[in-house]
Structure 1
Amino acid sequence: MSKKKLISFLIAAVVVAVLAYLLLFGKLFPYSPIALGFDKHELQHVVVYVEKGAMFNRFQEIDSCIPMVENFHTLKFRKKPRIFLFGDRKTYADRSLSKARFCAFYNGDIVVSPWAQKEASEGLISMEIYLRHELSHSLIYQQAGILNAFRYPDWLLEGIAVYSANQMGTSWYPSKEQTYSYIRNGDFMPPRFYKTQKEDQVNIVARPRTPFIYCEFSCIVDYLVNKYGKDRFLAYMKELLNGGNHDDVFKTNFGIRFDESIEEFRQSVMQQS
């Protein structure tokens, strides 16, 4: 073998080794077909992986979430979503791309942190509500495919997830009335700024900041559903699964420019007391 071919072979071998490590033990773990260190539980609607040594027995509660999520979105999962329940903080830090309690990946798989399970057992959060939130992401990601999922509007993903899970007014999430009050007092995250460099420039007094932002987006979804009907809203949501231009899809479905509609929403909030 020539020196050039040997170097190419070694580089390829290193790349394969690194990729294998990331899939099995690193940040690409949710994309791996093999879940080392986890016990598999295949249920009617979902596949649950529990880290060895972790105590968990609420499988039917998880399984029952799937039909609720599908019914709201009027979509079906293309395949059973995989949910990974971690029992060790270090393992979670090593194998999750997120530090959040729950995280849905673009392939539709979901990871659940050890502290989320502890908070659920202590009654601080609802496992069902949080899972329905993440399963909303998972369903949209599966239907869209990884490329279109990556392009799906982030504000809309969160708004749909909170709205469909009835998450407002639970745990650290403000109620609709509280969210409206914050908006009237000047707090508002323009949807176009979310997940951009401009996001940090927006002053939000409400705390915790992220739950307020999610609830604001949920209120926008609620506004669209109430004004135009759920069927029209779902048509808009589904058309975006194909990767269409958001503003064009919005105008086609609602007959108004997106920015104009957001301004109408803000004005409607300001007029309520």
Structure 2
Amino acid sequence: MTALRKLLVVDDDPVVGASFKRVLSGKGYLVVAAENGQVALDKLKAEKFDAVFTDLRMPGMDGLQVAEKIRAAQPWTPVVIVTGYGSPASEARARACGVSEFLNKPLSPEMIEDSAEKAVRTVMEGVTAPREQAAPAATLAAPVTFAAPAAEAPAKFSALRMLRNMALFLAAPFIGLLYAVLLPFVGLGMLAWVAVKGKKAEAPAQEAAQAAPAAAPVAEAAVAAPEAMAPVATETPNRGVAGAAKVAVGIVAAPFLGLAWIVVAPFVGLAALAWIGMKTVFERAS
């Protein structure tokens, strides 16, 4: 037969002890009530309890004093604070005293049963008292201190990202103006370079064509290919005219191409920058 688990309920209101007895009786628990802290400490000296549930506000000795004295005398006994006046400060103080759990009234039957089960399981699993766990608690607190800078890193990164996006939006008009100013000159320079390159490429061919008839003997040229020399004489002027026409067309068309660069390029640049900025904003939002 399984031995009953003994619980000590300390509260100046007898209704609380009666509630624990009503919920836990028949479920493997023996509930003993104490009306104040001194009576509870006397019972703990005389009997062995698996867990203690104590009210926070009681006449004479309050629940925190009871918890401190129990932790000093029997550090293996779990202590649970039960109160209807809970606050973050009182809960933090209770945790500092080494209590196992902090319950706020009103208590439901499920809360009573779950808390009793947790307290008894703590004893059965051989978990040491919170005072003896002070060093591990400090160890667990250390990563929180070191984790804080890591948590700040994404925030800093987000701020830098936002500043970068704002800078892109503000710089877009100036970059577009730079496009408008520089790109026409780039276009004109490219056209001039193409024209000069074409002219230089045609010059050796014209010189070779003009030197060929002079280098060949007149008699041999007349006998070998009298008709073949005629196309050479006629093609050279044609090539020169075509090259000159191409250069002239390039020079004439250059201002219009430059104007097209001035009109179109800033809008293309602004659209590209706006697209990059919006894409970054959507990635940030997602």
TM-score by length of 1: 0.21
Instruction: Kindly name which structure, 1 or 2, has the bigger radius of gyration based on alpha carbons.
Output: 2
TM-score by length of 2: 0.20
